[in-house]
């Protein structure tokens, strides 16, 4: 038997104190970085282009790799590695790439670098999150099943070092435009030996490369420096970028105000009222290709057929988008005028039938009454949303607007996480209207419409089935010129405005800010910084 003495207690206290003392020893890094510091978030996966589908990793991948095309700040596509992309039918393409490009390990970028990378991305056993982007390429069906029936897609053929051909299963004018999207980047030979290791220290051909030393400090930051061998149209104009990872935009904003962060691409909601005052001419705004919609499942009670159509229109007209944008977002949202975004090429804000998206309380009441004549309304109108995404305020404002205009019980149904609400949407068990949105992967209106409303699209969350719309959209995809495509897209959208499978609410204006250290900062079409042109 041993008695614990007071000495033991003091010893314990001493250990605690020592721990704290040690804690104080680490040094304070005071020196200001010569890199431009920009906000980011820890990439969710190793940086492999075909496996990066979130913008924490995406913003880094786009710096490290160069594709056939790139998009400038306005969203206009330019050839990057492509010498020429030729097609006569929007279905069979011959792609020539520029010679003499190299990866940062010195190996040349060839036609094979592209073809192999795409085949890697599409093969089911490689389990790449972005594999679906290759859906249109011939032979995708054989590689995308487990076990795969083929190792490579039959639609891809290497002709010589700088030429390869692509055959699609159906015409798509969007294919060429999408070639600047990350999954279409080439990979060096070295990648296939150990893709995980490659993803942690990628070898690319883009305007930047990993900085020397500990470039990627997990959960903290990732540094990239200009790649001197880059030969494309978007060379780095700064000495490097440091992506600083934040858990919330609120925190990042505090750092921006204190000049610890050079560029923040999203002003948090809590600062929207004051950021222009806080930052003065350092506040930056630009429209961006992002939408918020309220989806109405095709099988929702009271929302089918003629009755449903009237009710959807009534609800759309009952939402005072202007006022909600002012009250909740201080004008940083645009009232939606269509199903795409005003920042996209070919956008038309005056489509036939777009007045259904304008606030009209009298009209809304009338339409609702007409619907009631078909079958009287009962119950609540619920809008499901995830409370981890900052949607609560505007959903509440929308339900208040509906409630006050139509005199019905309209409420938001909060789901704790995106995962949960998503699960019920894809499982078709949600049983209520739901918030969803779309952010463009590349600047194209078709990229907003095809995945969400085409009958056979796996992500047609509202189960919209309209042969008329499908025909018009497919015609737009098969168009010969962008202009022709824009006209047909407009016709397809007019069908959507009539049927309202989802109710468009907002189109985003990205609001950003720069620190006093930065001399030039611009927002790109996708709401992120135009990273290459940031200067300090």
Partner 1 sequence: MSEPDSTPAPRRGRQERFVAPPDEVKILATDKLDESGQPTSIWNDAWQNLRRNPLFIVAALLILFVIIVVAFPGLLSSQDPRYCNGDFSMQHAGSGHPFGFDKQGCDIYSRAVFGARASVFAGVGATALFVLIGGTVGALAGFYGGLLDSIVSRITEIVFAIPLMLAAIVLMQLLDSRTVWTVIVILAAFTWPQAARIARGAVIESKNSEYVLASEALGVSRFRTLVRHVLPNSIGPLIVVTTIWLGVFIVTEATLSYLGVGLPPTEVSWGGDIARGQRELRSGSPILFYPATALAITVLSFIMLGDAVRDALDPKARKR
Partner 2 sequence: MAWYIVRRLLQMIPVFLGATLLIYGMVFLVPGDPIQALAGSKPLTPAVADQLRARYNLDKPFLVQYLLYLKGILTLDFGTSFSGRPVSEELARAFPVTLKLAIMAVAIESVFGIFFGVFAGLRKGKLFDSTLLVVSLIIIAVPIFVVGFLAQFFLGVKWGIAPVTVGGDASFGRLLVPAIVLGSLSFAYVLRLTRNSVAENKDADYVRTATAKGLSRRRVVTVHILRNSLIPVVTFVGADLGALMGGAIVTEGIFNINGVGGALYQAVTRGEPPTVVSFVTVLVVIFLLANLLVDLLYAALDPRIRYV
Instruction: Look at residue 82 and give the partner it binds from partner 1, partner 2, none, a contact being a CB closer than 5 to 8 Å depending on partner kind.
Output: none
Burial of 522 (0-12, 13-18, 19+ CB in 10 A): middle
Tell me the closest approach of the beta carbon of residue 143 to partner 2, in angstroms: 9
Work out whether 458 is an interface residue with partner 1 (CB under 8 A).
Answer: no
Work out whether 270 is an interface residue with partner 1 (CB under 8 A).
Answer: yes
Tell me the closest approach of the beta carbon of residue 128 to partner 2, in angstroms: 7
| CA distance to 85, 144, 159, 166, per residue, from 140 (Å) | 21, 6, 20, 12
Instruction: Look at residue 328 and give the partner it binds from partner 1, partner 2, none, a contact being a CB closer than 5 to 8 Å depending on partner kind.
Output: partner 1
| CA distance to 67, 172, 318, 477, 481, per residue, from 484 (Å) | 26, 13, 35, 10, 5
Among residue numbers 314 through 373, which ones bind partner 1 (CB under 8 A)?
Answer: 320, 323-324, 326-328
Distance CA(391)–CA(335), nearest Å, equals: 16
Tell me the closest approach of the beta carbon of residue 434 to partner 1, in angstroms: 16
Tell me the closest approach of the beta carbon of residue 523 to partner 1, in angstroms: 22
Nearer to partner 2, 400 or 457 (CB): 457
Burial of 97 (0-12, 13-18, 19+ CB in 10 A): buried
Q: What is the DSSP string of 270-297?
A: GGTTTHHHHHGGGEEEEEEEEEEEEE--
Distance CA(318)–CA(361), nearest Å, equals: 5
Helices 482-499 and 467-477, axial angle in degrees (round to 10): 160
Nearer to partner 1, 221 or 435 (CB): 435
Nearer to partner 2, 164 or 216 (CB): 216
Tell me the closest approach of the beta carbon of residue 320 to partner 1, in angstroms: 6
Work out whether 94 is an interface residue with partner 1 (CB under 8 A).
Answer: no
Question: Could you say which of 412, 440, 513, 527 contacts partner 1 (CB under 8 A)?
Answer: 412
In this structure, what DSSP letter does residue 533 have?
Answer: G
Instruction: Look at residue 377 and give the partner it binds from partner 2, partner 1, none, a contact being a CB closer than 5 to 8 Å depending on partner kind.
Output: none
Distance CA(140)–CA(201), nearest Å, equals: 29
Any idea of the CA torsion for 118, 120, 125, 127, to the nearest 10 degrees? -70
The span of 52-60, 176-184, 404-412, 503-511 binding partner 1 (CB under 8 A) equals: 404-412
End-to-end CA distance of the chain: 69
Identify any residues that bridge with 241 across adjacent strands, giving them in sequence order: 36, 224
In this structure, what DSSP letter does residue 511 have?
Answer: E
Nearer to partner 1, 245 or 418 (CB): 418
Distance CA(501)–CA(313), nearest Å, equals: 10
Instruction: Look at residue 516 and give the partner it binds from partner 1, partner 2, none, a contact being a CB closer than 5 to 8 Å depending on partner kind.
Output: none
Nearer to partner 2, 269 or 307 (CB): 269
**Contact status, residue 415 vs residue 425, Cβ threshold 8 Å:** no
Count the site residues for partner 1 by CB under 8 A: 27
Work out whether 33 is an interface residue with partner 1 (CB under 8 A).
Answer: no
Nearer to partner 2, 214 or 323 (CB): 214
Residues making contact with partner 1 (CB under 8 A): 269-271, 273-274, 320, 323-324, 326-328, 387-388, 392-393, 396-397, 400-401, 404, 411-414, 416-417, 420
């Amino acid at each position: 038997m041993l008695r614990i003495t007071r000495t033991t207690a003091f010893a314990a206290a001493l250990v605690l104190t020592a721990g704290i003392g040690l804690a104080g020893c680490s040094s304070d890094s005071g020196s200001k970085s010569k890199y431009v510091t920009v906000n980011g978030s820890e990439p969710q996966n190793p940086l492999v282009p075909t496996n990066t589908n979130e913008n924490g990793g995406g913003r880094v991948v786009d710096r490290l790799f160069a594709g056939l095309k790139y998009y400038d700040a306005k969203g206009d596509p330019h050839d990057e590695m492509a010498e020429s992309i030729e097609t006569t039918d929007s279905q069979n393409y011959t792609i020539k790439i520029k010679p003499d490009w190299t990866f940062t390990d010195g190996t040349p970028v060839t036609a094979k670098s592209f073809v192999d990378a795409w085949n890697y991305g599409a093969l089911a056993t490689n389990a790449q999150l972005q594999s679906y982007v290759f859906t249109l390429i011939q032979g995708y069906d054989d590689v995308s099943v487990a076990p795969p029936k083929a190792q490579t897609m039959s639609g891809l053929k290497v002709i010589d070092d700088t030429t390869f051909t692509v055959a699609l299963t159906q015409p798509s004018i969007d294919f060429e435009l999408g070639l600047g999207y990350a999954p279409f980047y080439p990979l060096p030979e070295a990648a296939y030996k150990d893709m995980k290791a490659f993803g942690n220290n990628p070898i690319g051909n883009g305007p930047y490369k990993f900085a020397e030393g500990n470039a990627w400090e997990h959960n903290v930051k990732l540094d990239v420096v200009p790649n001197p061998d880059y030969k494309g149209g978007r060379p780095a104009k700064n000495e490097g970028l440091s992506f600083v990872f934040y858990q919330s935009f609120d925190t990042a904003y505090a750092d921006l105000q204190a000049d610890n962060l050079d560029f923040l691409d999203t002003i948090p909601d809590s600062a929207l009222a004051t950021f222009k005052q806080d930052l003065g001419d350092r506040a930056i705004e630009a429209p961006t290709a992002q939408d918020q919609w309220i989806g109405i499942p095709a099988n929702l009670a009271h929302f089918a057929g003629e009755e449903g159509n009237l009710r959807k229109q009534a609800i759309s007209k009952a939402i005072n988008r202007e006022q909600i944008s002012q009250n909740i977002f201080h004008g940083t949202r645009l009232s939606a005028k269509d199903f795409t975004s005003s920042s996209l090429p070919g956008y038309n804000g005056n489509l036939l039938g777009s007045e259904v998206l304008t606030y009209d309380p009298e009209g809304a009441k009338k339409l609702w009454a007409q619907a009631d004549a078909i079958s009287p309304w009962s119950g609540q109108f619920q809008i499901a949303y995830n409370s981890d995404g900052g949607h609560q305020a505007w959903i509440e404002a929308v339900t208040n607007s509906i409630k006050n205009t139509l005199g019905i019980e309209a409420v938001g149904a909060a789901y704790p996480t995106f995962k949960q609400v998503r699960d019920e949407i894809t499982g078709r068990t949600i049983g209520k209207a739901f918030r969803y949105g779309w952010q463009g992967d590349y600047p194209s209106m078709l990229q907003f419409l095809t995945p969400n409303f085409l009958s056979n699209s796996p992500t047609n969350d509202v189960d919209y089935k309209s042969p008329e719309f499908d025909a018009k959209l497919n015609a737009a995809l098969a168009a010969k010129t962008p202009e022709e495509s824009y006209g047909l897209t407009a016709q397809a959208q007019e069908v959507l405005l009539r049927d309202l499978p989802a109710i468009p609410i907002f189109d985003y204006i990205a609001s950003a800010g720069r620190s006093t250290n930065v001399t030039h900062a611009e927002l790109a079409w996708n709401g992120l910084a135009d990273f290459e042109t940031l200067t300090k």
